Structure 1
């Protein structure tokens, strides 16, 4: 805990040096959830879950003409997880979420070093995962180039555990990351290139990503790195009240388990939206994510949207690609939505999604079910409330996919949540 106090002390000490270049803000975000089928079908004999957790963040930034430094620390507090009067944080959740420096090279270019969020376009492949209280970050070095209508990022990452088998500062050649080998989100190395061009009413981006997972031998020692390559584009068009956005990604290489080749994996998405009035807008779309045809055990055609904000896609109940549904039958997601501005401070979103497998299950079934999502937002003076309700109407294919019978599952599969968001600005730098 001493290092935690040291970090807080250094940030608070910055108050006496506050100038127009220094900012200090925070976030207090408690969320209560009722889970009765969230992420997977709940059995009739199981009890629904009910819990509250809080994300607490403190963010500090300092900027000059030559550089910018940013630090974000956070803690995740589950209500009641710490035993009374015991002076320890039981889940060890205090962490540095972001810690980076951006160095200016020219008027249009620079280098950004350290722990940072990668978030591009609609966050389909790279996103900050802000819904999850812990969020998502990357440790990397990145060259950046910006003009009025063009941007380019080139990032390089290499993860290492200095306290591994070789001991601190020794034996790097035998040390892998300190994470499980079969974790799709923890890579050994990564290189990515992102370029985006903007025209009037239209923009297009290109993303190339190569990330490698550490292989291990039978003794658990690091044994080479396998690579998974993803290439894709995001297109966005808007004219008047009409908008159209599309994604197209391809994937090849070796799956994160180190033994399965990936070939012909793809993700295709198309969404249209129409602003009917100043208060009402409608949306409709389809997304196809390739699945494994299961013809061979050492090859897959299943696409993995690895670092995206997957909660934003394929239903808020997170049945697909949020730590689940990986290397399976893929997905066809057909959806429609309506956004209604109720007044100056509140809005309501309703969305209906129909799911089926891109590949058939063993029974030949493809239909998985239909989900309904509702989200209500209300702004107050200095804070906001967000509430949501979702319900899954599972098809026979969903029961087969989850390996349970309909008679054993609860008649109602739903999820509800309520979240308070406060973002205090202690020093604005103005």
Structure 2
């Protein structure tokens, strides 16, 4: 009888501990759900493209919808999921998206295919100065010149990756990511399996921000290939009497290898950027000089994971660097007007190393106005017009959009 009683007591104790443990876990789950958040984002955009070639002028009216959820934390772990959908509105579909097979060869390109897909889905662990993520995620570094989300397009770029960020101090941050899939902007039609290693370090000093990086990219397609880039950058600010200054520079070297045996290629190129900006009475004037170098006119410095629309003109004529390389002298003015922001920019393009009679790469003018209103909405209108040089064609692009997030 005593043995039976002891056994019963032990079973009861185990049951109580089990219930308490289950209760604690239930509390954690309840807390995570209570601290979770959900969001939705809408972006309606009208875009036109006119090119001086045989293609028909393009126009598109598209609506992007994103719906997301992020849980609270349980022992440092949380989960984020986000779905993205892009639809053609009111039958405005006179445009081409080549990789998806949509209206191929008929119209100028507007790279906003109809799609419904998982935009993000990752598990995150966060503790003290460390943050780790596993799964599909947005990764954007610095000004997006090398690694970005291409958020300008309706279907933005994300990566299937393992990433880790560690803050050694308030001023020093280290970031590493192994990216095993590039989810590009053409729905799933042009996604690429990869073996990309991203190493990035930034240090904020009293005189400005210093960054060093190594981007070691490889497409996982059973062929020999490598695109390795090593670089550093500096950004600083200063305040004078009645004027604020911003200035900086960046330099990188790159090697590109592809193929094997007699068909193998091996190129080297460099990147250089320098800028200075002055703000007086709310008006900012900026001069920016960028060189995407060439290897003897046979290869141009490549940035395949960048938010390319942000650089080298909004007409998108230089999403791929020409074999001659690219020099871009950009002069811009920006400021505020009627509660919004305006920007005017001029680009002068030329080859880094001319070849095949190509030296003058044309020029471009960009103009934009954006404004937030009613506390919840954003509106924008912008225009890019490109005048061709020894290559490309005259191109005009126009955008108008309205969006909200809640």
Report the TM-score when normalising by structure 2. 0.78
Equivalent residues in 2 for 1:186-197, closer than 5 Å: 186-197=192-203
Equivalent residues in 2 for 1:368-387, closer than 5 Å: 368-381=361-374, 382-387=376-381
Partner SS, residue 121 of structure 1: coil
Query: Is the alpha carbon distance of 1:93 and 1:283 closer, same or farther for their aligned partners in structure 2, counting shifts above 3 Å?
Result: same
Q: Is 2:232 the partner of 1:233? A: yes
Deviation larger for 244-253 or 333-342: 244-253
Give 1:252's match in structure 2, choosing from 247, 250, 255: 255
Q: Is the 8 A contact 2:345 2:365 kept in 1?
A: yes
Q: Is 2:57 the partner of 1:48? A: yes
**CA deviation map 1:204-237 (0-9, x unaligned):** 111112122235xxxxxx4x54322111122111
**CA deviation map 1:165-202 (0-9, x unaligned):** xxxxxxxxxxxxxx99xx7x734211121111111340
Q: Is the 8 A contact 2:234 2:248 kept in 1?
A: yes
Query: Is the alpha carbon distance of 1:108 and 1:93 closer, same or farther for their aligned partners in structure 2, counting shifts above 3 Å?
Result: same
Deviation at 1:256, TM superposition (A): 8.2
Give 2:306's match in structure 1, choosing from 305, 308, 311: 308
1:108 & 1:46 partners in 2: Cα distance? 53
Query: Is the alpha carbon distance of 1:262 and 1:80 closer, same or farther for their aligned partners in structure 2, counting shifts above 3 Å?
Result: farther
Give 1:283's match in structure 2, choosing from 282, 286, 295: 286
Q: Is the 8 A contact 2:293 2:325 kept in 1?
A: yes
The aligned residue for residue 128 of structure 1 is 149
Query: How many residue pairs were aligned?
Result: 346
Give 2:215's match in structure 1, choosing from 189, 209, 213: 209
Give 2:128's match in structure 1, choosing from 96, 107, 111: 107
Q: Is the 8 A contact 1:266 1:302 kept in 2?
A: no
1:289 & 1:262 partners in 2: Cα distance? 17
Equivalent residues in 2 for 1:137-156, closer than 5 Å: 137-146=158-167, 147-156=169-178
Equivalent residues in 2 for 1:17-416, closer than 5 Å: 21-37=35-51, 42-43=52-53, 46-64=55-73, 66-80=76-90, 93-104=115-126, 106-146=127-167, 147-159=169-181, 186-215=192-221, 222=222, 224-240=223-239, 241-255=244-258, 259-277=263-281, 279-294=282-297, 300-321=298-319, 324-325=320-321, 328-343=323-338, 345-363=339-357, 365-381=358-374, 382-395=376-389, 397-398=390-391, 402=392, 413-416=395-398
Partner SS, residue 311 of structure 1: helix
Structure 1: where are the runs of 5+ without partners? 1-15, 84-89, 161-178, 216-221, 295-299, 403-408, 425-430
Query: Is the alpha carbon distance of 1:380 and 1:92 closer, same or farther for their aligned partners in structure 2, counting shifts above 3 Å?
Result: closer
Query: Is the alpha carbon distance of 1:201 and 1:257 closer, same or farther for their aligned partners in structure 2, counting shifts above 3 Å?
Result: farther
Q: RMSD over aligned Cα, in angstroms?
A: 2.7
2:318 & 2:264 partners in 1: Cα distance? 21
Question: 1 or 2 for the larger relative contact order (CA 8 Å, sep ≥6)?
Answer: 1
